Structure 1
């Protein structure tokens, strides 16, 4: 009779390190990176599609700790087959404090940006395998941006980023910004931004000398302040922006939960349309429901048409309730999600934005719908109905039917 060999401390350490490596690998994939020895390839740049560039493909990545723990290179190059133009970023950074994970980053970017989109500096760490809104976007502006950025984590629960940037903005569409008795077709903007992301209820652990979020806690809060300076490094306009978002999740059990996202933004001063708000529409302007059939977004308004609304102040509230999955078989479990969305906005000086016609959400925009997810290979179906102040006379113009796509690691 043989006794079992005892597990040595070395064996236990090997198993633990292997587990950590697998977790780290999956986390990298979840953040949109395919890790190699010295470089984490950024999956966002491989293939995309939009109405202006057509197919957009390229390669990008950021060096990892095997390359250096104190220095990094973060760059990409892509090509649009419809506009026949290369876009790129040349960037890098160096760490000045390990304890607070403080980095100074420099970047030169020549690319496109969706007009009216607003993002938080701290959001760049989040990734979706498939970004459905991109398929139908057609209103872009070119920008050449030079930026210096400081990442700083004063505590485990608080992440901050500060950025100073100068940008040359050139809309790809027919647009004039009329301000101070001048008409601008393109313009220079000098901005300073401060972004804070606070996760007071999340749990964190230190793995491989890095702070890692081990449990999502809610609510989470994100705040960003932007100031544009006129006559500083050729800046054309003075304007200020404040953006806020809070995300909350109510968990009833492992399968049933609700998600609530409240977003808002305010822009004051001489703000061109490129830097205002569109409230994330995701419906294309075509005659029939079938012609508009595309892919639903994650947090977009499915019945709101692209370029239908712009605002200099807005707020949106999105509610999702995930019903217990249907247990058709052990592996086949479609899930019903009930959705309700609201948006409210307005704009001062709408006449300053010439050659474009749009509304401002001042009546309040409402839609309700549902998703039936994970029907086949991650695909599902989505239906939404538009009601309230912006209900349209033709019934089918208020209805959106789309695919959904959900993949989780």
Structure 2
């Protein structure tokens, strides 16, 4: 396991270094440095730009326990193609499950002043069971996503969506979405509904989400949204309703999810970060749409066997598939000390971390062929990171204590790499 993870880290680092090297070579020395910075910024956001479309770097190479190596290509049209229309899609292949996945979609800009888009998509892919996402987050990009290495609980889904994104005010972003999905867990699972056990199911869901950033300096221009300064706190609220019997949907449930983020200080000095996430699901909700609190620890006997890479906001000592809840709250506190000024380029940084999670489930017996606990006792872990020791890599140490402290000392310890890089 360790050898496989280290090999994957080197693949990622090599890809990143090649991208950085390539970005330097494609410019003549006399060209304006602004173009270089724009290219690096675009790559940092996960895109490699060309004349009419951008390559989406999220799909180049990843790894997880179900697909093994997952590689492919994503594309999205840019403003040179059209400022009113966009087309996006991707195709990937998993070398362990021997299966292609893909998505195709597009959008039509209804209003440039309010950055209003009508979007449609068709997706045939995998999704991690228990992962709760906010649709206002849009796309996210990391050169390396540590949690993906060890995830093994996925469900296949074929999903058709139509949605509208709209900037209600410069500080308030809204998005609505209607989706129809066919879901097939890749693991043995059944849900008891009306005295029957359902293993494959259909869902029709309507979502509405609001992201409020009252302290951002944002302007709505003729070309769209222009953020000049990021402020805190930020608030996100999302409501989901599953509509039974609409387009053959099997379940009727509702979900309410909330998140707030707050930062005190500056990145180049001392910085404290607080993230609160909470969610509640009511009604008959399958495991695919419940909450797992983002664990990041594999089930192995020794600390060295569990040695992998720490995530950005995950519970490092919580084992995968250990807990699921239909109501949960997590609170995370990080304090970033001022980077150690060893040299102009070498500046490691110490980070203190504490995480808490609370949760419960009303009818766990409805979920068949899978064993898990809840978080009603309260889960706590604390530790530290020393980041950017070498080529973006650092070290992390986390300890599990409180209501879910385990009898063996070593089972409460997570010792891992960290990986932080910016362009």
User: Shorter chain as normaliser: what TM range?
Assistant: over 0.9
Bigger CA radius of gyration: 1
What is aligned with 1:364?
378
The match for 2:190 among 164, 176, 181 is 176
Aligned to 1:33: 47
Aligned-pair Cα RMSD in Å: 1.6
Aligned equivalents of 1:25, 1:333: Cα separation in 2: 25
Helix, strand or coil at the partner of 1:363: coil
CA–CA separation in structure 2 for the residues paired with 1:329 and 1:215: 29
**1:195 Cα deviation from its structure 2 partner:** 1.3
- Alignment partner of 1:382 is 2:393: no
Structure 2 partner of 1:158: 172
- The one of 270, 286, 291 aligned to 2:305: 291
Deviations 1:322-374 (A, max 9, x none): 01222222221110000000000000110000111100111000000000000
d(CA) in 1 for partners of 2:240, 2:220: 32
Counterpart Cα distance in 1 of 2:33 and 2:226 = 15
Change (3 A) 1:208 1:29: farther
2:246 pairs with 1:256: no
State the alpha-carbon separation in 2 of the partners of residues 238 and 19 from structure 1. Answer: 55
Stretch moving more, 202-211 or 162-171: 202-211
**Alignment correspondent of 1:202:** 216
1:265 lines up with 2:279 in the alignment: yes
Aligned counterpart in structure 2 of residue 123 of structure 1, from 120, 132, 137: 137
Q: Classify the secondary structure of the residue corresponding to 2:321.
A: coil
2:239 to 209, 225, 229: 225
1:63 and 1:315 map into 2 onto residues whose CA distance is 38
Alignment partner for residue 333 of structure 1, among 326, 347, 366? 347
Using the TM superposition, give the Cα deviation of residue 252 of structure 1 relative to its aligned residue in structure 2, in angstroms: 6.1
Partner of 2:328: 314
Moved over 4 A (4+): 18-24, 205-208
TM-score computed with the length of structure 1 as normaliser: 0.93
Q: 1:353 pairs with 360, 367, 381, which one?
A: 367
Q: Distance in 2 between matches of 1:293 and 1:192?
A: 40
Aligned length: 393
Residue 51, structure 1, aligned to residue 65, structure 2: yes
Q: Distance in 1 between matches of 2:267 and 2:294?
A: 30
The CA deviation string for residues 189-233 of structure 1, in whole angstroms up to 9 with x for no partner, is: 000001111111011246782322221100011111100000111
The answer (yes or no) to whether the contact 2:268–2:339 under 8 Å persists in 1 is no
Cα deviation, residue 24, structure 1? 4.6
1:97 aligned onto 2:136: no
- TM-score (norm. length: structure 2): 0.90
2:297 touches 2:320 (CA, 8 Å); kept in 1?
yes
Secondary structure of 1:287's aligned partner:
coil
CA contact (8 A) 1:391 1:398 kept: yes
Secondary structure of the 1:125 match is coil
Contact 1:115 1:141 in 2 (8 A): yes
CA distance 1:24–1:329, shift in 2 (3 Å): closer
Q: Output one character per residue of 1:36-65: Cα deviation in whole Å (capped at 9) or x when no partner.
A: 111111111000000000000000121000
CA separation of 1:108/1:252 partners in 2, compared to 1, >3 Å: closer, same or farther?
A: closer
Unpaired segments of 5 or more residues in structure 2? 1-31
Residue number in structure 2 paired with 1:70 = 84
